[in-house]
Copies of this chain bind each other. A is one copy, B any other.
């Protein structure tokens, strides 16, 4: 029998009625002949409440104890889910991460999944039960509870789907799928039917967080078909997969923005090997997360290095940059803290010309000045002024027809 993994987020489990609704989703699938593994998230705001309880006792709680604490939210949700199914006449059994031997490394609060006892789960499924696994958690080799970091239940779900060779991993969220652009920022954004892992990875990296990066990375590695959909309706949502055959003609699948960015430019650094390495080693030491890097040679002796950071990391980044400026005797240090980033993403752009031109052209027509440009194989990003970002997003979305389903768009 084919296995489907269904993951329900905290808002899909916020109260008894919502848990029952999610349980009915499971029953639909069992009636259709599937074996179901449910991954349960902590109910509503419970994780946040537990974090508050911990902070009341410790300004910086030990991470091992945080994992012992936070993992209980998902354990509760899993057992309640099993009760809801049982009340509907559907046999169900709940397990913690440890009980299904979901092994991780021992990096508390951000552990990586190593293995899952798929045989154990399969035996329970073969007894005719729905298996409910508490998301977000595992155990290390010593049996300590670990948690998988932000969005960890999504990672649990995809890892379980991989281990069980599930036909599909359904992720139920309020978002209901992946949009061509955030519907709050661009009202005419439409749902994407299919998208590739690589595009999702770029989107996650750009903060368009329908799914956390790690869950997509696991899905890509083990070829798990992931479907993101809404728990309140029957829309098929968005499928994330390796193969997106109809996409060959479609160049850009989505556009994203990151609003709170800053740019730091070091002007006139010594143009010798090792300069960039030194700069970014120092920033890494200070735990600054770097978004994009732009390096340009201005003379045989001198180069400029600019990089983008989130505004929350700006104070740390600025301090490090000032130290570097002194040490390496730069000519100047410029900080721009009113930057936003608009990006277009599409596997198709690998083999198509004209994407960059169309993007820059649309911004020019909308009178948006481009501060800097960075690209990857499947992405083009432009830094613009923060007060122009809505206009920039709209211009780009309309240029690439992201207000229409993929099949209705003209080729670039």
The interface of chain A, by Cβ under 8 A from chain B, is 16, 19-20, 50, 53-54, 56-59, 61-62, 64-66, 68-69, 72, 75-76, 78-80, 82-84, 86-87, 93-94, 96, 98-99, 143-145
* Distance from A112 Cβ to chain B, minimum over Cβ atoms (Å): 21
* Distance from A137 Cβ to chain B, minimum over Cβ atoms (Å): 12
Contacts of A50 in B (CB 8 A): 76
Known: A68-B75, A68-B96, A98-B98. 6 other contacts (CB 8 A): A19-B57, A20-B57, A50-B76, A57-B83, A65-B86, A96-B145
Contact pick for A83, options B20, B62, B94, B96, CB 8 Å: B62
Top 7 closest pairs, chain A to chain B, by CB: A72-B72, A68-B79, A16-B56, A69-B79, A58-B83, A58-B87, A65-B79
Q: What is the count of identical protomers in the complex?
A: 2
Contacts of A82 in B (CB 8 A): 62, 65, 68
Contact pick for A99, options B79, B84, B143, CB 8 Å: B143
Instruction: Knowing A16-B53, A56-B16 are in contact, say whether A61-B75 is a contact too (CB < 8 A).
Output: no
A66 CA / B83 CA spacing, docked (Å): 9
Instruction: Knowing A62-B83, A99-B143, A143-B99 are in contact, say whether A68-B94 is a contact too (CB < 8 A).
Output: yes
Check A87 against B20 for contact (C-beta < 8 Å). no
Q: Which residue of B lies closest to A15 (CB)?
A: B56
Contact pick for A53, options B66, B80, B87, B143, CB 8 Å: B80
* Distance from A262 Cβ to chain B, minimum over Cβ atoms (Å): 35
A265 CA / B147 CA spacing, docked (Å): 61
* Distance from A23 Cβ to chain B, minimum over Cβ atoms (Å): 9
Instruction: Knowing A68-B79, A76-B69, A93-B64 are in contact, say whether A57-B16 is a contact too (CB < 8 A).
Output: yes
Check B80 against A57 for contact (C-beta < 8 Å). yes
A61 CA / B19 CA spacing, docked (Å): 15
Listed A/B pairs (29) with beta-carbon separation below 8 Å:
A16-B56, A16-B57, A20-B57, A50-B76, A53-B80, A54-B79, A54-B80, A57-B80, A57-B87, A58-B83, A58-B87, A61-B86, A62-B82, A62-B86, A65-B80, A65-B82, A65-B83, A65-B86, A65-B93, A66-B79, A69-B75, A69-B80, A69-B83, A72-B75, A75-B75, A96-B145, A98-B98, A99-B143, A99-B144
Contacts of A98 in B (CB 8 A): 98
Contacts of A20 in B (CB 8 A): 57
A84 CA / B55 CA spacing, docked (Å): 10
Contacts of A87 in B (CB 8 A): 57-59
* Distance from A172 Cβ to chain B, minimum over Cβ atoms (Å): 18
